[in-house]
Amino acid sequence: MSAVLIASASAFLRIGLVQQLRPRQGGHGRIAPVEAATATEAVRTLTTGGIDLAIVDDALMASPTGDHLVARLERHHERALVIATREPQRMPATSIGTLRVIPGIVDGVLNMGAIARALPAALDEVAVEFGIRRVPPDALRTSIAPECAPTPRGQPEIVLVASSTGGPSALTILLRHLGRPKLPVVVAQHMPADQTAGFAQYLSAESGLDIVERGAGEVPSRPQVTVLHGGSDYRLGRGRNGQFRLIATEVAGNVFHPSADLLFGSAAEAGVSAIAVVLSGMGEDGARGAAAVAARGGRVLVQDFASCVVAGMPSATRATCPSAAMAGVAEIAWRLSRWSTAVIHPAEAVPEG
């Protein structure tokens, strides 16, 4: 087991870092995150020992007890990562030469996508040095990627959309440009249970479409947009008459709900011909499920990284499934409209446009 200190006054950043660490447990053994919200808590945790790796928000170094934290990190520097959430010129002058620093600020704004892209390499560097890592860093991804079919097969039956941080605005733009859908659309937006009904109403008002919130049960076969009930996870399957059904399922250890990986992956297992769309979001949810969709001959679309509030989910999906097409939100809507009526034959070469 590897004990990892995650220290930041920002609960958002701590949750994001925990989510980034979770998919790596298979290769690094079990990871036990230990969170600290203040510099004092971080110092106390490091002093008691047993921490294999410290990931610290540099903003804590500027707190009243920040000097103690810097001093402790200098002793622990070989197993410490600093997330730079302040402008570079405001970083502490001491220890800059010894600490591994991951830039977390892009154009003056905290960018979880930048952190998500830089963190794996930094973790692997530490893991290799201290023997924490037991398998190649991208063993999971390289095992999945070759299975991603570069050529779609069959006519799509449903559109599945995953989104998290930055997703509400991306979804609004997507649905405005999509217009009346030609296929059922199911949206997994990471959101608490008490917010998704209002969110569905908001999307309906903004897009002019018929949009409903739905939990477990039958999904209408008519082209309607469904927002999954928040705070829960769902499998997509088929009923006795072939209609789509959502089955509520608990995913152990899952932090963000609904789980896009479960939604996408279960659709692939059920033999559903789907188009998987991954929009702005923190973490890697949707990446493995999208690979399963592509492996069954479905199409995968990811939002272009530059337009994402947080590019973690689209970036992870593109890395796991290289056959995924990357596009702006408006272009994704155009492709969905075009692909929803296309009949794809197994031997047909599909142009990227």
Which of the residues are catalytic? 164, 190, 285
| CA angle (10, 110, 35) in 5-degree steps | 25
User: What is the three-state SS of the chain?
Assistant: CEEEEEECCCHHHHHHHHHHHHHHHHHHCCEEEEEECCHHHHHHHHHHCCCCEEEEEHHHHHCCCHHHHHHHHHHCHHHEEEEECCCHHHCCCCCCCCCEEEECEECCEECHHHHHHHHHHHHHHHHHHHCCCCCCCCHHHHHHHHHCCCCCCCCCCEEEEEECCCHHHHHHHHHHHHCCCCCCEEEEECCCCCCHHHHHHHHHHHHCCCEEEECCEEECCCCCEEEECCCCEEEEEECCCCCEEEEEECCCCCCCCCCHHHHHHHHHHCCCCEEEEECCCCCCCCHHHHHHHHHCCCEEEEECHHHCCCCHHHHHHHHHCCCCEEECHHHHHHHHHHHCCCCCCCCCCCCCC
Strand order in the sheet with 217-219: 217-219, 244-249, 233-238
> Do 335 and 301 form a contact (C-beta atoms < 8 A)?
yes
CA–CA gap between residue 184 and residue 61 (Å, rounded): 50
